[in-house]
Structure 1
Amino acid sequence: MERQRILMLAPEVAPFKKVGGLADVVAALSKSLAARGHDVRILMPRYAEMEHFDGAQALERPLIVRLGGHEAYGRIWQHTLPGSELPCYFIEHNQYFGGPAVYVGPSGNEDDNGQRFAFLSRAAIDFCEQMDWIPDVVHCHDWPCALTPVYMNTTEAERPMGRAASVFTIHNLQHHGWFHRSLLQFSGLPNSVFRSDGLESMGELNMLKGGLYHATKITTVSPTYAREVQTPDGGCGLNALLRFRSSDLIGVLNGVDLDEWNPTTDPHLPAHFSASDMAGKAAVKAALQVAYGLEVNPDKPLFTVVSRLVGQKGLDLLAACCDRLMADMQIQIAVLGTGEPDLEHSFDQLTQRHPGRFGSYIGFNNQLAHLTIAGADCFIMPSRFEPCGLGQLYAMRYGTVPVVRATGGLIDTVEPFDEEQGTGTGFVFNQATADALYYAIGWACATYYDRPDAFRQLQQNGMAGDYSWDASAAKYESIYDWAVSARQAAFV
């Protein structure tokens, strides 16, 4: 395949700023594509609090962003993605990105988010033109970047950026970016795009909807999720639109950054291990038990969660059945995450009711996240829907057996355990109910105690999987080529 110029546009990128898995995906995919010979550049906002930002240099020339009836000025900072030579650029604008938060406010739909991300979407266009670097493909990630394809099809149609292809990745269809229609005037987009086959939705401006209509090609982060979003249950009100665009919609599984998540070298762990020598995992489990105030006991199965504590993740199901689990099974549970106050409170209360057996850390700590995944026996993901999920991939890499619901990327990546054949990589259940989760954990617990050889085989099966970005990056190469060909054909 020919070398492509690819702009990765995202609201968050690991390790600089991370809210969720989107940040990991952008960084890992970019590195993989760069390693395959492509000219990849990342563009994101500069927030007030960022990791690994030391060493970044500000460009002398300010960035002029052309919005509706006015110009905004920003500063561009340049750095490289840690562990690579891949160039990263950061847009500084104190009004829009001067605070530490990526998504301001509890819903994400607050008015200032509309202006912030309209600015980001427009800035991507002006950045490329000012740098005299016109990409072949602009790869936009989730609703904060959704207006960029709209600009490319309208105000930029007769300019150089209008000839570039756009690829839009849905990381989570639940988040749309709803704003008052007055945002259209602020953005400088023409009124003609405010219609039902564009940005208009129930009288308001829907950023995501506009991006899905205008992107050259659309991807989701797993094949099953690509099918689910076309259904009334999984489409979040956009299922008809996604069925309309189905010929341009492709599901591509996420991969794992194998340098960051490697049980043989992980610097966050007190000991290392591999599929051929699992001895170090016992020391990691003991450190994990200490970290959460659990009884240090190598023989009790330890189940963990590392997640946003929200309804989508099905963790209310775990909270609902935890007292029953503690009463009926000899297990330990540790939960790491932050999110909805009711769930945070529930897990705090469980920690108090079951000292030494249930532990929680409300917040996020990267080192503790690695320890919590690596030291556990099983990893719980009872998601109501899951576009792809990275936790189960990290878990299998560390010999931690996932317990997951059969949805989205979870069913695409976790092979159900077959007791007779000894095949599979995890315990899979179907219904999003507390009872179904209870019995799935019971199944895992019984296998751990009664069939230890089968449990060890599950660990080995998971660790033998290929979770690299290589196959996924190759698919994205094909999608970029497809998108560029489609865009070129539109100008013939």
Structure 2
Amino acid sequence: MSVQSKKRILIITNELSPYLEITDFATILNKLSVKTFDSGMEIRVIMPRFGIINERRHRLHEVVRLSGINVVVDKEDHPLLIKVASLPNARLQVYFMDNEDFFKRKTVFRDEQELFHDDNAERLIFFCKSALEIVKKFGWPPEVIHCHGWMTSLIPMFLKTAYKKEPVFVHSKSIFTAQNPQFPENFGDDFVKKILNSAALKEKDVELFAGANNEALTAGACKYADYVIQGQEDLDKDILAEVKAAKGKKLIPYNPDWMENIDPLFDLYQNLTED
């Protein structure tokens, strides 16, 4: 397979084994990434550089030529640092989006007292925009963009709105892993305003996110994604109903064997790159 003919898969996730494991999908995505790479496709993975990720152990290093971008979040510029590591037992690259204000802390979504970080909304927006901005800088157009985790939930919407005319994303198909809510907190009444202040969007683009909670993030992501993976067997019935009712939406049903056999998910990647 020549370099020019290789299909490109991009995974954007807030968890990936061995760096951070929140759900079983951290391991599933690891196996899926390796299998995709071994198949001859080009694959890159993007995730946040949470402070609990040990840079020395995992051999992260800054990519100076890619760093230096400023990402606008709620009308404020935030510098983006890019770090990279090679996934153990594979030669594929994992890119870590870093920012001292958002990710230096040694916690993930909650502080030492188990309180939800009060800037998680800004961290969400920053990560989603950072992931897309760095792909633009790569000049690397992916056929498939698989979004996993609530911190990726704005990406399917951005791809259909603010970034829809970007050449690198014109032919991209998005997948979102739908899971049950992982936090009960609310981002606040100004959440939608913060999104609108961060990108060229219309109010109708973000209306599904107005609930400003985990359920709203999932609903919005499912609306805009081209494909939705049922990430849990007991996924909320309302979410399932909305996905099944959406015109042109394709649902990938939950499979209890994914942990041992990721072939069905790999087949989805293959099928989407052949369309």
**TM-score bracket, shorter-length normalisation:** 0.7 to 0.9
Correspondence for 2:60 among 52, 56, 62: 56
Q: Are 1:76 and 2:82 matched, yes or no?
A: yes
Partners of 1:156 and 1:254 in 2: CA distance = 35
The Cα shift of 1:255 comes to 5.5
Q: Equivalent residue for 2:188?
A: 180
Give the secondary structure class of the aligned counterpart of 2:162. coil
TM-score by length of 2: 0.82
More helix by share: 1
Give CA deviations for 1:371-406 in whole Å, capped at 9, x if unaligned. Answer: xxxxxxxxxxxxxxxxxxx5xxxxxxxxxxxxxxxx
Q: Secondary structure in 2 aligned to 1:123?
A: helix
Where in structure 1 are there 5+ consecutive unaligned residues? 257-389, 391-466, 486-492
Say if 1:46 and 1:97, in contact at 8 Å, map to a contact too: yes
Q: Verify: 1:212 aligned to 2:219, yes or no.
A: no
In the TM superposition, what is the alpha-carbon distance from 1:143 to its structure 2 partner? Answer: 1.5
Matched, 1:469 2:262: yes
Q: Give percent identity, aligned residues only.
A: 20
- For normalisation by structure 1, the TM-score amounts to 0.48
Counterpart of 1:48, as a letter, is G
Q: Separation in 2 of the partners of 1:238 and 1:251?
A: 13
Pair 1:255–1:77, CA change in 2 (3 A): farther
Q: Are the equivalent residues in 2 in contact too, given 1:153–1:162 (CA < 8 A)?
A: no
Distance in 2, matches of 1:199 and 1:102, equals 22
Structure 1 residues 473 and 254, CA gap change in structure 2 (3 angstroms): farther
Match of 1:94 among 94, 97, 100: 100
Give the length in aligned residue pairs.
261
Match of 2:205 in 1: 193
Cα distance change of structure 1 residues 475 and 135 upon mapping to structure 2, 3 Å threshold: closer
Contact 2:181 2:215 in 1 (8 A): no
2:149 is equivalent to residue 120 of structure 1: no
Q: Secondary structure at the match of 1:474?
A: helix
- Cα deviation, 1:103-154, whole Å, max 9, x if unaligned, reads 2258886542111111111111101011222212211002210101111111
In structure 2, the partner of 1:22 is 25
Tell me how far apart the structure 2 counterparts of residues 252 and 76 of structure 1 sit (CA, whole Å).
Answer: 34
**Equivalent position amino acid for 1:128 in 2:** V
Output the CA distance in 1 between the equivalents of 2:20 and 2:51. 10
How far apart, CA to CA, are the structure 1 residues paired with 2:206 and 2:189? Answer: 8
Q: Which runs of 5+ in 2 are unaligned?
A: none
SS in 2 for 1:13: coil
Question: Is contact 2:187–2:213 with CA below 8 Å preserved after alignment?
Answer: no
User: Which shifted more, 150-159 or 245-254?
Assistant: 245-254
CA contact (8 A) 2:191 2:210 kept: no
Counterpart in 2 of 1:301?
A: none
Match of 1:320 in 2: none
After TM superposition, give the deviation of residue 204 of structure 1 in Å.
10
The residue type paired with residue 65 of structure 1 is V
- Cα RMSD of the aligned pairs, angstroms, is 3.0
